[in-house]
Amino acid sequence: MFVDKVKIYVKGGDGGNGMVAYRREKYIPDGGPAGGDGGKGADVVFEVDEGLRTLMDFRYQKHFKADRGENGRPKNQHGKSRDDMVVKVPPGTTIIDEETEKIIADLTEHGQRAVIAHGGRGGRGNSRFASPSNPAPEIAENGQPGQERNLVLELKVLADVGLVGFPSVGKSTLLSVVSAARPKIADYHFTTLTPNLGVVETDDQRSFVMADLPGLIEGAHSGVGLGHQFLRHIERTRVIVHVIDMSGLEGRDPYEDYVTINEELEQYNMRLTERPQIVVANKMDLPTSEENLQAFREKVEDSVEIFPISAVTKKGLNPLLRSIVDKVETTPEFPLYEEEQIEQRVVYKFQQKEAPFEISRDDDGAYVIAGHEIETMFKMTNFDRHDSVRRFARKMRHMGIDQALRDRGAKDGDTVRILSHEFEFVE
């Protein structure tokens, strides 16, 4: 099965917890704190594997959770950081953040990597919190939570040339006679249900990759027919080969077909019209084809390069293939995305700083504190240690949460909730 779009969930590994420990050695009565830091959690890294063709594997595994870092140890020993979790994807995979719809990475070359979800840093041990005023702290941090993301993966096949046209115009037959690809061929519409790729070699030993895409029909750009599912695969091609059934035996006018398909390409993505296009007049072995070709030439005039061929009898293929490979060699790659769109690039621009916390009231009257900064701080606090709890309370006061609760009308004994945990407000 060919799968070219999936939704998955990834999570970087949490950092390891820091440790509260002290030196306990003979003849050293006041050893001091010796709790080590936790190790860093593993990153989730996507890597291109040229042996993969589809996103089929992601139909069965949709959750990817990296390993957490090792906890800190006594004697100031740091916990072990985890190795990256590597997820293999096929060439041509675009990774999009589902929530923000931003493009995180566009992976096209074998071995290319991108960090998709960062692991959390390890929590600090108590030796990090020692000071002249507190030489024996009972404070240690939990590890920072790893980054979580819901992603959309889109596969846009890597081909130099894309065959487009109405159903049953002979695209699959053309691909089968010029390459070793063996797509399904039959005399009914939409025989081709998935894109087929084949390597084509010309008579002068030059080669290129050709993709046979499912037939387009009018309205494909807005979701009509099968073509809309696969229009994205045309985006990476350098040259578009427009195959037209010149015989007109199915009652369609070749010129109207030509205009309709070009309108669909323009409606889908304006940049598709920038690519060089070669028109292939197929089925020239049938009786009415010569007459229709003459009428077609008169309508398009000299603005279009037309190659009359018969894919069945293999007539006229060599001049066509030589022209295609010439176009491929002289046409640069078309970048799919502007540099600013891809998250890996650094773009400096003003952004409103996110509020560190927000306060709301729940249905049961509890005050709910939310926000990335306060929630991360909460998760990194070890509530089994009294000093850690006091440190968290000081941070809340410093952030202005205590006063904000009073301003909202909180009184002594009211319930305050952070994530799924509750505690009482104390004046």
Which of 131, 155, 179 lies at the terminal end of a domain, its last residue?
Answer: 155
The whole domain housing 234 covers 161-335
Of the pLDDT bands very low, low, confident and very high (cuts 50, 70, 90), residue 339 is very low
What CATH number does the domain containing 312 carry? 3.40.50.300
Verify that 310 and 365 share a domain, yes or no: no
Verify that 27 and 77 share a domain, yes or no: yes
Instruction: Look at strands 85-89 and 44-48 and give their pairing.
Output: parallel
* CA-closest candidate to residue 106, choices 85, 84, 89, 86: 89
What CATH number does the domain containing 371 carry? 3.30.300.350
Please tell me the predicted confidence (pLDDT) of residue 188. 44
Burial class (CB in 10 A: 0-12, 13-18, 19+), 372: exposed
Q: Which range has the worst mean pLDDT, 105-114, 153-162, 230-239, 340-349?
A: 340-349
**Where is the binding site for Mg(2+), in residues?**
172, 192
For 86-135, write each residue's pLDDT tens digit: 999 988 888 999 988 888 888 888 899 999 999 999 999 999 999 898 88
pLDDT of 148 above 90: yes
Please name the residues in contact with 307: beta carbons below 8 A apart, sequence gap of 6 or more: 278, 279, 280, 281, 316, 319, 320, 323
What CATH number does the domain containing 11 carry? 2.70.210.12
Please tell me the predicted confidence (pLDDT) of residue 228. 54
Q: How many domains does the chain contain in total?
A: 3
For 47-99, write each residue's pLDDT tens digit: 999 888 778 888 889 999 999 999 999 999 999 999 999 999 988 888 999 98
Q: Provide the token pair at 48.
A: 């291109």
* Of residues 265 and 72, more confidently modeled: 72
The arrangement of strands across the sheet holding 103-107 comes to 63-65, 5-11, 148-155, 93-97, 103-107
pLDDT of 26 above 90: no
**Where is the binding site, in residues?**
165-172, 190-194, 212-215, 282-285, 310-312
Is 352 contained in some domain?
no
What is the overall mean pLDDT for the chain?
Answer: 82
Verify that 169 and 291 share a domain, yes or no: yes
For 271-284, write each residue's pLDDT tens digit: 677 788 888 888 88
Name the percent of the chain lying above pLDDT 90: 24
Q: Provide the token pair at 356.
A: 């560190």
Verify that 169 and 293 share a domain, yes or no: yes
Please name the residues in contact with 342: beta carbons below 8 A apart, sequence gap of 6 or more: 103, 104, 105, 106
* Of residues 293 and 194, more confidently modeled: 293
Of the pLDDT bands very low, low, confident and very high (cuts 50, 70, 90), residue 1 is very low
Which of 115, 135, 155 lies at the terminal end of a domain, its last residue?
Answer: 155
* CA-closest candidate to residue 33, choices 140, 141, 135: 135
Please tell me the predicted confidence (pLDDT) of residue 299. 85
pLDDT of 347 above 60: no
Verify that 137 and 61 share a domain, yes or no: yes
Which of 139, 155, 171 lies at the terminal end of a domain, its last residue?
Answer: 155
Verify that 306 and 208 share a domain, yes or no: yes
For 183-231, write each residue's pLDDT tens digit: 555 454 444 556 777 788 888 888 888 888 776 665 544 444 445 556 6
* Of residues 345 and 419, more confidently modeled: 419
Is 345 contained in some domain?
no
**Where is the binding site for GTP, in residues?**
165-172, 190-194, 212-215, 282-285, 310-312
Verify that 179 and 275 share a domain, yes or no: yes
Average pLDDT over residues 153-162: 81
